[in-house]
Every structure is written in structure tokens, then in C-alpha cells.
Amino acid sequence: MATKLFDVHNHAQRQWAQVHGDRTRITLPQTRCMCVMGTSPEDWAWVQSMVEQLSAPLSTATASMDHESHDSPPHLVPAFGVHPWRIERMLGDKDCAALHPVPASVVMTPPEIRAQLTTMSWYQRLAQLLDSHPHAIVGEIGLDKSARNRDTGSVYPFAAQTAVFRVQWELAIAKQRPVSIHCVKAGSYLLQFIQTLAKDWQRVKKLHRARPSSSSTAAALRAHANTLLPPKIMLHSYSGSPDILRQLFQLPVDIASRLYASFSEAVNRRSPQLPERIHAVPLDRLLIETDENSLDDIDQPMEAILHEVAKVRDLRPSELAPALFANACRFYF
């Protein structure tokens, strides 16, 4: 594989944990740039270990890709966050049950509940990891109205999901870090949330318009957007409505310019809606990923989804790959 590719979302820390951090027991992929996504406090240490022991500087990894070397390590971006499937186990029955009266809406999550969550040990640890890793992003976070707890058979409590999602979103804003979002059967909730933030931004814009013109207005509006949204937002392995994507990318530029959507072979390739979803994303916001759990499973899925996206966009893979790589670098760096 001579093409430069960036796997923007995987969980290779699971393989790293299985081999107990023994580098001699893994095969380095030709896809040398990737983001390793944590899902709960239980795997954050493995993400940290993998990045600290295996990652090469971006310039080194990129140079090694030019020579198709398998001997040099990849460049790994760490991500730390709490996945919606992990919230119930992380919080425990008591704390999770206490969140059930909370409205199941990201917009309506009460400030006092968010303040309570920020005092918990998992949140404090997450903030510490972000401080220790200045290039880390917040992920994988999200909302899921479909998945069920395998032990109980019950749908994961959505009120708890929205509350934990909201505090991680706000932490990403405070630290000015990108976020990677899992969103399944909950696109309308996410759209409502971001549209509400966009309305707040538009309210401030109207206030500026009512005043004498100023060269600082654009900067002030961007600064206000920075208090509402993380600097970059990825909808990972997006499997929702194409119309929701179109609505998101039609928001005011200070909001929409932060949005990206990623697709993977594992999650998206069999869906008949994939072409419409891909077309709903501007070319400069398209990303590709594997969502795989092992470095052994990176190269083939990356090539497969690259060719699928290229086919939909009527481009040669060799034309599309540099654009996707540039998009990923812009998202992460």
C-alpha cells in the first residue's frame, strides 16, 4: 500500500492490552497515522501506554510511509473519553439511577447534574489525561438509542448518556480539543443540540449587527463559537440520516466549519444509504477509519473504504487519498 492514509478512529488499544504491551507480538501496519480511541477509564491506561511506547513523531511516520517501511512505528493520536455503552458500568447502579429523572435531552441537562458529574473520579482522571497529553482528543463519546446491555437486555439509559456526553463536550471546549462522536438512532437529539448552540451564536451575531461596524466583529463571533463548541467535531462511522448531515453542514460557517464525518468498512459499507451520506459531506470534511480493535486489521479496511468513497465521489483513489489525509491532519492538528 503506497497510499498515505490516516485511520481517524480505531480501538487498537484492545490488541495492545491482549499482548500486555509487548511490541514484539504485533505487526506494524502500513497505515502509519491513526487515532486510538479510549472508551472508558478501564482502557485509558492502555491507550496511554500504547501511545507512549509505540508512537513515532508525525514527520517520522510520514517519511516512513513514503518508503513503505514496516520497521518504523506509526504516529498515534490518543483519545480519551467515555463511550455511551460504558456509562452504566462506570457509574454503577446507584449513580446511574440518580440520573434517570434528568430529561433525556442534551439541551436540557441541568447545570447542577453536570456540576455533580465533574466532581467524580472518572471525570477528574479524564481532565488529567488531557492535560498530560496536549495533542489528545476527547473520544469516544456519544449517544445511542439502540444498543442494549448484554447482561440485562435493557437499552442503555439515555438520560445518563446525555448528561455524561454534555460534560465531556464541555470539557473538550475548556481544553480546546476535538471530539469523536458515536451517534446511533440519536441523530435528532444531536442535531437539536447543535442547532440550539447555533441559535445562541446567531443571537450574539444580531447584537453585533445592531452596533456600529467593527473589524473585530468576526473575531468576536469566532470567539463566542469557541465557548459553545469544540474546535473540531467528528461524527464517526456515521450511520444516520443523510438529511441530518445536510442540515448540520448548512449551519452558519463558524459552526459548520468545525464538523467532519467519517465512514468505515466495518460499520457503513453494506448500507444502501452510504452513497447519499458520502455526498452529504463536503469533500474537505470527509474522513475514513476502520473502527477496528487490532493493528492487524487496519490496512485492508482502510483500502476498502478508500475505494468505496472514491467510487461514490467519482474520483480515483490516488486523487482522493491526499485530500482525506489532509482533512485528517486538519482535524487533529
C-alpha span between 273 and 263 (Å, rounded): 12
CATH number for the domain that contains residue 299: 3.20.20.140
Are 165 and 64 found together in one domain? yes
Q: What is the pLDDT of residues 240-297, one digit of tens each?
A: 999 999 999 999 999 999 999 999 999 999 999 999 999 999 999 999 999 999 999 9
The pLDDT value given to residue 38: 98
Are 268 and 145 found together in one domain? no
Instruction: Using a pLDDT cut of 70, give the percent of the chain over it.
Output: 95
Of 121, 154, 175, the domain-final residue: 175
Q: What is the pTM of this model?
A: 0.94
Predicted confidence (pLDDT) at residue 66 exceeds the cutoff of 70? no
The pLDDT value given to residue 107: 85
Helix H or strand E segment including 156: none
C-alpha span between 139 and 175 (Å, rounded): 13
Look at 182 and 64; give whichever has higher pLDDT.
182
Are 196 and 160 found together in one domain? no
Predicted confidence (pLDDT) at residue 58 exceeds the cutoff of 90? no
Look at 16 and 89; give whichever has higher pLDDT.
16
Q: What is the pLDDT of residues 207-251, one digit of tens each?
A: 877 665 556 788 888 899 999 999 999 999 999 999 999 999 999
Are 88 and 163 found together in one domain? yes
Predicted confidence (pLDDT) at residue 3 exceeds the cutoff of 70? yes
Which triple of cell numbers denotes residue 299? 490496512
Per the domain annotation, does 112 fall within a domain? yes
Planar angle of CA 226, 230, 233, nearest 5 degrees: 135
At residue 140 the predicted structure's pLDDT band, cuts being 50, 70 and 90, is very high
Predicted confidence (pLDDT) at residue 138 exceeds the cutoff of 90? yes
Are 105 and 72 found together in one domain? yes
Are 110 and 241 found together in one domain? no
Are 309 and 260 found together in one domain? yes
The pLDDT value given to residue 49: 97
Predicted confidence (pLDDT) at residue 100 exceeds the cutoff of 80? no
Q: What is the pLDDT of residues 164-180, one digit of tens each?
A: 999 999 999 999 999 99
Per the structure, the count of domains in the chain is 2
Output the CA–CA distances (angstroms, integers) from residue 112 to 116, 151, 188, 273, in the order listed: 6, 31, 25, 40
Are 155 and 190 found together in one domain? no
Of 149, 175, 201, the domain-final residue: 175
Instruction: Using a pLDDT cut of 90, give the percent of the chain over it.
Output: 75
Q: What is the pLDDT of residues 6-57, one digit of tens each?
A: 999 999 999 999 999 999 999 999 998 999 999 999 999 999 999 999 998 9
Are 219 and 311 found together in one domain? yes
Are 82 and 158 found together in one domain? yes
Per the domain annotation, does 67 fall within a domain? yes
Per the domain annotation, does 8 fall within a domain? no
Q: In the Cβ-directed half-sphere of 169, how many Cα atoms lie within 13 Å?
A: 24
Are 194 and 331 found together in one domain? yes
| CA nearest neighbour of 54 among 18, 22, 17 | 22
Predicted confidence (pLDDT) at residue 71 exceeds the cutoff of 80? no
Instruction: Report the chain's mean pLDDT, rounded to a whole number.
Output: 92
Of 153, 175, 197, the domain-final residue: 175
The pLDDT value given to residue 67: 55
The pLDDT value given to residue 211: 67
Are 168 and 235 found together in one domain? no
Predicted confidence (pLDDT) at residue 321 exceeds the cutoff of 70? yes
* Domain membership of residue 274 as a residue range: 186-333
